[in-house]
Amino acid sequence: MIQLREVSKTVMSGSEPLTILHPLTLQILRGQFVAIVGPSGSGKSTLLGLIAGLDAPTTGEVLIDEVDITKLDEDSLARLRGEKIGFVFQFFHLIPSLTAYENVAVPMEIAGVADARQRAASLLEEVGLTGRAHHYPSQLSGGEQQRVALARALANDPPIVLADEPTGNLDTANGRHIMELLRSIHAARGTTIVLVTHDAELAAMTDGRLVLRDGRVVEDKLALQPPDGARGLPEQVEGRQAQSERAEHASQGERTEEPRVQSPSSLDFARDDAGALEGSAPERSS
């Protein structure tokens, strides 16, 4: 479970302090697939960086499975990140001199994973890239590169995957493909997934949403949804643990509000913002 308590971030902008995230409190249960949405500059990446412990908050606590990561030293934090968190970024961040297969296998080999090669092969199979394993990133389409990045993020079978606009640099079809993969990973592994996206349709496919604007939460719908949801995705199966945590959570009555059906209006701005993506390069065809 991910819990943020009164977390804020203030940076110095010239000689003036600038608050880019106002104090916010939220929790994301284990096994949930949630979206963080909001216009460019609203603080989404900052928030994801704080959840990952890549950045330290100015105030507040960030708890990952009850551990306050703001209290950890760099080594412990790096270890926790390596065990628990996989990242996917908008611009893939693959190593250009390594093949798809090597991009997935090499970090595992460095980490001393015993069956790194076998695991890399099976991860590439999971994202449908077996046939492209020995291609270099420059020989792959954007969608394929993002699938390699996803396979790499799953290398340690992390319980949490954080994805910062993973479809933001892809065309619609490839973006959908990545979303389908995230959903099948969520269903098969019970992974907690936090997806930052501009895409209202993608956000509406998740279990809950947090809407940011100007560094403030303007809407918290991380609330529980009914198991089959209003999403019309009957094939989506939750991890067992997520279900039992939810049941426990509900019986504790921590959140009393009714599960709400997504109102399209809350995501309208995301649609407006969709054209303003940084560097939306056309996808290379393959």
Ligand X SMILES: Nc1ncnc2c1ncn2[C@@H]1O[C@H](COP(=O)(O)OP(=O)(O)O)[C@@H](O)[C@H]1O
What secondary structure letter does DSSP report for 265?
Answer: G
237/235 Cα distance (integer angstroms): 6
CB-nearer residue toward ligand X: 42 or 145: 42
Place of tokens 């949930």: 32
- Could you tell me which stretch among 35-43, 170-178, 242-250, 256-264 binds ligand X (CB under 6 A)? 35-43
**For Mg ion, the closer CB: 65 or 278:** 278
Provide the β-strand partners of residue 212.
Answer: 217
Among 6, 17, 25, 40, binds ligand X (CB under 6 A): 40
Closer CB to ligand X, residue 59 or residue 244?
59
Count of residues that interact with ligand X, criterion CB under 6 A: 12
Quick one: what does residue 158 bind among ligand X, Mg ion, none, with the CB cut-off 5 to 8 Å set by partner type? none
SS (H, E, C) 48-116: HHHHHCCCCCCEEEEEECCEEHHHCCHHHHHHHHHHHEEEECCCCCCCCCCCHHHHHHHHHHHCCCCCH
Q: Is 45 in the site for Mg ion (CB under 5 A)?
A: yes
Instruction: List the interface residues with ligand X, window 1-20 (CB under 6 A).
Output: 11, 13, 18, 20
172: partner contacted, choices ligand X, Mg ion, none (Cβ within 5-8 A by kind): none
Q: Which helix (H) or strand (E) holds 209?
A: strand 208-213
Kindly indicate which of the ranges 14-22, 44-52, 75-83, 143-151 contains the residues binding Mg ion, using the contact rule CB under 5 A.
44-52
- Applying CB under 6 A, among 32, 45, 167, 191 the residue interacting with ligand X is 45
Cβ 273 to ligand X, closest distance in Å? 9
- Least separation in angstroms between residue 165's CB and ligand X is 8
Asked whether position 209 contacts ligand X by CB under 6 A, the answer is no
Applying CB under 6 A, among 23, 43, 57, 190 the residue interacting with ligand X is 43
Q: What's the Rg (C-alpha) of the chain? A: 19
Is 57 an interacting residue with respect to ligand X (CB under 6 A)? no
| Least spacing, CB of residue 12 vs ligand X, in Å | 8
Which region holds residue 43: left if phi is over 0, alpha if psi is between -120 and 50, else beta? left
> How far apart are the C-alpha atoms of 67 and 26, rounded to whole Å?
15
Question: What is the rounded distance in angstroms from the CA atom of residue 210 to the CA atom of residue 179?
Answer: 18
Report yes or no: 100 and 124 within 8 Å, Cβ to Cβ: yes
What are the structure tokens assigned to 233, written together? Answer: 């995705």
46 binds ligand X (CB under 6 A): yes
**CB 252: neighbour CB atoms within 10 A?**
8
The residues that touch Mg ion, with contacts defined as CB under 5 A, are: 45
Residues near ligand X, by CB under 6 A: 11, 13, 18, 20, 38, 40-46
